[in-house]
Amino acid sequence: MNKNDKTIVILGIAILILASIGIYTWVPSESTAAAPTTDDIITFTGTYKDTLPTAIKVSNENPFLALIATPIAVNYDDEGMQHIIPLYIENFSEPSRAVTRVESMINKPADLTIGCSQTKSITDISLELAETYWEQSHAALLIENNQTGYNLGVAATPLATYLRIPIIVTDDINQNVQSTLEELSIDYVFICGNISNRGIQKRALESPLQILDITKSVALDRFNDIDYITLTNPSDTLTPKVINTTTYFFDGRVNSNSFTPANIINMATGGLKGIPTVAHHEFDIPASYEYARVTIHAKNLVDEDISDTGSQLMPMFYDPEGNWLALAFTVGGIPERDSSGEIVTDQVTWDTIIYNNPGTYTLNVAGQFITSNTGEYEIEVTVEDLESAIVPNMPCLSSIAPYLTSYHKGILYADADFTFVGDEQIVEDPSPGVVFPASNPELIEYSNEHTFKIHESRIMNEYCLGISDL
């Protein structure tokens, strides 16, 4: 090896040593600094750039999107003056008429649209929003990208709006997150969930009540009074696994049971023609289906102007013991309409969940028609074997709770323990049958005990009762 070769080797080793030092210094050790106190937190604040939007539209595909948009949509300056813009949560492919109607009434089209894509993760989106709309911030709210993180993050989001700090959804503080924190000069992070933290002071937010207490202190400092509290259940984002599915199809024709002279005569003679006034169908819930969700989708195919006559189909649902479980009406369903608003398909979708009660169930069908003596129908019954009975009636409604709370200068309590159904996770030995007390009297006592426990809790006694005394 000649002299030049030795020089090259030495330089190479030096470069590797410098590179390893660089890598080591980027991943600092766990911070041992004391967590910020409530008095410290009250002083935290962020500064926005002059690029705030006039309205925001977020996709309903991910509930975290509404959370990260909330501190941009509603916040307060140093004098407590409110900055508020519309926040629309929408199904981008099939927007609800209620949402589009509100957009039209408010007349502030969204100039910021937030939706997940194949190229951007929820972490990428939250980092991009933080860098786009914040000049700097003393702190940030970090939420773990899972159900535990969401449960806590919903409760903590009003805190972010009052402090004017960004929300970042992430599973760890990786290089991209670290870069954004440094760019915005963020010294502290609030953490919802199990997110490892290195080199920066933190305050772990570990329970809804702890978050409520901190938010209360900040809100009182900012507004001097609190007269608004929101209760929400973050479990409304849960979707149980579907293990198996069985589908049944029924169709037929029934006599009208409307009490017009023509229909009364037709009901008397219809049976002779083989057309029943009440049709009868049966389907099974298999023995292996512990939590069976039964969904009935009924279409009224009568040949008359339903918009004018108000005709309807009425499916009636009975369990194997003959107990009446439901009576649905297509007049109470959501019809398919044409561009002029006229009804194209009169229909209703109804469902329930049944625990550990297999057997043969009955579906009776009747119809009320005005100008027709008879009417045709189609019914699809879907029976799904679910992993759990915890299914939200209004999915992800909790994601709008922080926006409403912050608008009213209030505090928010989000607790998954609000959930009650006849599920083994909640009731030790639930009674077989429908998992809702309204259709299963055996669950009423359990439901009452569950409700009384919530009413007697600290949150109800200290916050919901006499809130103006805070």
Which pLDDT belongs to residue 72?
A: 97
Calpha distance 236→154 (Å, rounded): 12
Measure the CA–CA gap between 155 and 211, rounded to whole angstroms: 7
Residue type, 329: F
Residue type for position 417: D
Predicted pLDDT of residue 387: 96
pLDDT score for 272: 56
CA distance 346 to 376: 12
Sole residue written with tokens 């009762």: 465
Q: How far apart are CA 212 and CA 234, in angstroms?
A: 15
pLDDT computed for residue 36 by the predictor: 72
Count CB atoms within 10 A of the CB of residue 403: 25
Q: What is the pLDDT of residue 309?
A: 86
Q: Which amino acid is at 60?
A: N
Q: Which residues pair with 70 in a beta bridge?
A: none
* Pairing state between β 279-285 and 359-368: antiparallel
Of the candidates 51, 45, 41, the residue with the CA atom closest to the CA atom of residue 184: 45
Contact 293, 352 (CB under 8 A): yes
Tell me which residue of 222, 136, 121, 223 sits closest to 172, measured CA to CA: 121
pLDDT value at residue 271: 57
Here the tokens at position 164 are 């004017």
Looking at this protein, which amino acid is placed at residue 276? Answer: P
Q: Is 23 exposed, middle or buried (0-12, 13-18, 19+ CB in 10 A)?
A: exposed
Q: Are the C-beta atoms of 390 and 419 separated by less than 8 Å?
A: yes
**Edge-to-edge strand list for the sheet holding 201-204:** 167-169, 139-143, 188-192, 201-204
Distance of CA 68 to the CA centre of its chain: 14
Which single residue is written with the structure tokens 């935290």? Answer: 44
Map residue 110 onto helix, strand or coil. coil
Rounded Cα distance between 384 and 14, Å, is 64
The tokens of 449 are what? Answer: 């005990």
Measuring CA to CA, how many Å separate 416 from each of 89, 159, 362, 424, 455? 22, 19, 35, 15, 15
| Residue 373 CA, distance from chain mean position | 44
pLDDT of 176: 94
Within 10 Å of residue 355's Cβ, how many Cβ atoms? 23
What is d(CA 392, CA 418) in angstroms, rounded to the nearest whole number? 12
Cα–Cα distance for residue pair 105/196, rounded to 1 Å? 45
Provide the pairing of β-strand 46-48 with 134-137: antiparallel
Asked if residue 225 lies in contact with residue 344, where contact means CB atoms within 8 angstroms, the answer is no
Strand 56-59 and strand 87-90: pairing?
parallel
Task: Please state, in angstroms and rounded to a whole number, the distance separating the CA atoms of residues 82 and 190.
Answer: 23
Please report, in tens digits, the pLDDT of each residue of the chain (470 residues total).
444 444 333 333 333 333 333 333 333 334 445 667 778 888 899 999 988 999 999 999 999 999 999 999 999 988 889 999 999 999 988 888 888 899 999 999 999 999 876 678 999 999 999 999 999 999 999 999 999 999 999 999 999 999 999 999 999 999 999 999 999 999 899 999 998 766 678 888 999 999 999 999 999 999 998 889 999 999 999 999 999 999 999 999 999 887 666 556 665 565 556 789 999 999 999 999 999 999 999 999 998 888 888 899 999 999 999 999 989 999 989 899 888 888 999 999 999 999 999 999 999 999 999 888 899 999 999 999 999 999 998 999 999 999 999 999 999 999 999 999 999 999 988 999 999 998 999 999 999 999 988 888 777 777 665 554 44
Confidence at residue 339, expressed as pLDDT on a 0 to 100 scale: 84
* CA gap 63, 91 in Å, rounded: 12
